[in-house]
Amino acid sequence: MFYHVKELQFDARVSSPDPRFATLLLEQFGGANGELKAAIQYFLQAFAARKPYPAQYDMLMDIATEELAHLEIVGATITMLLDGINGELKDAAEQTLMTEFLKGPGKKEELLQQAIVNPQFFALSGGSPTLTNSQGVPWSGTYVDANGDLTVDIRSNLASESRAKLVYEYLLQFTDDPQVKDTLTFLMTREIAHYQMFASALDSIQPNFPPGVLQGDPRYTHTYFNMSDGGDIRGPWNQGRGAWESGEWVYVSNPRDYVEQTDGLTNAPVEGTTETRESTDAMNRQLGQQRSTEVKSAIQSDPNQWSKFADGSRSSSASVPHVEERVKSK
């Protein structure tokens, strides 16, 4: 159940109208890294997590709901940035349309083409946010990542929060309005907070690497192929332990020779790790059973019910005060 509070989570303000920045801000309203994308993404991910991961489900729904609050803040800011000039713009546009249309079909086609290639035509003439990015491209469900595996979804969310934070960081460079900057700074900072929430949630699910259930083939997991000519560049991504909990990277300086010597890698040895193909097969079975148990334990044999109420009578209309009674009680 959603409950709308009319006051914004953050008191959005603007010093003066700025239609050009309002257009840029559409990126965070209907863009690929915007607030609507985040809200829908976390909301969808939560369904699969509801029973197997109830704690993480609660977190996903909380953050999704906050993202809707941020969407409202962005929409309100865009609207205020257009305040005071919307009527004038609309009148001017209508007069221009009439004048240009009277010049003949050629001018009409030119005007329509200008409207198509100029997203600001739509962003400014309406006086309110449109569900597009700053270039006028409509919002799309393809922006949303929800794979049904919580560890994969959370990693997608970490990337989403990172990109959204960076967009706000860029937007801050395009406005001098101190009050708008305050709003953008708040929204940017909440992306940082959400990132830490997701990072902590991922750490609470063990094991969480590699993503999914199946382990990698140990013949290939710790191998780094030097796929470029010139000097060998070494770092924690191709030498030493790196991010591995155990084992270390095996650096193949000449991949072509290595591929030939191992019959196209089919006879490559296990190197850099103590894992074997037998041990990873055993882990696959163990983790598969664990994940299956988590899902099956969440499925009820009785008639399924999404919400549980402590007292069934609470859903009865007799227990809910009449509207007039609730008003009088205030």
| Binding site members for Mn(2+) | 35, 67, 70, 161, 194
- Residues within the annotated binding site for Ca(2+)? 58, 62, 226, 228, 230
| Whole-number Å distance between alpha carbons of 171 and 27 | 9
Spatial distance between the Cα atoms of 207 and 188, rounded to a whole number of angstroms:
31
**Are the beta carbons of 15 and 177 closer than 8 angstroms?**
yes
* Short-list 240, 201, 208, CA closest to 224: 240
Q: What is the largest CA-CA distance in the chain?
A: 86
| 24/173 Cα distance (integer angstroms) | 11
8 A C-beta contact, residue 172 and residue 185: yes
The answer to whether 78 and 128 are in contact (CB under 8 A) is yes
CA-closest candidate to residue 40, choices 146, 131, 129, 138? 146
Task: Give the integer Cα–Cα distance in Å for 65 and 13.
Answer: 22
Gap between the Cα atoms of 111 and 113, Å rounded: 5
| HEC string for 230-255 | CCCCCCCCCCCCCCCCCCCCEEECCH
Q: Which tokens hold the place of 210?
A: 């590699």
- Phi and psi at residue 42, to the nearest 5°: -70, -35
- SS3 assignment, position 127: coil
Question: Residue 222 CB: number of other CB atoms within 10 A?
Answer: 20
CB atoms within 10 A of CB 85: 15
Q: Are 147 and 49 in contact (CB under 8 A)?
A: no
Binding region: 35, 58, 62, 67, 70, 161, 194, 226, 228, 230
Are 175 and 181 contacting, i.e. CB atoms less than 8 angstroms apart? yes
